Structure 1
């Protein structure tokens, strides 16, 4: 995934499965660096590949800006 943001340590990033199960990928870690340009590995063997998967990003602080530039999932 590639998230453009001015302070990655503010971000909470979750992958949401079609059945609503939430898999946390990033939880306000990464310090004061800019952007998230990272690959994450999760065991999703209990999930069905069919359906809509969502990437949910929350900025847990104020005064910074950002956006999801790109992401993909391989099941």
Structure 2
């Protein structure tokens, strides 16, 4: 992940990892990709990753927690 002032730039491998986590959560929860819940899941994953969480299981756990708290 590269940081440009005001912008976070993800490398292709990082995007693939986040996409995989996102897809796993959507499938497990039966959430439509175009739903508001899916948007919230994506936001939670990106925020956790930007804060330094890189472990797949931890990203999924934190995104799940964020959604459950809504």
TM-score tier, shorter chain, comes to under 0.3
TM-score under structure 2 length normalisation: 0.25
TM-score under structure 1 length normalisation: 0.24
Give the structure with the larger helix fraction. 2
Q: Which has the larger radius of gyration?
A: 1
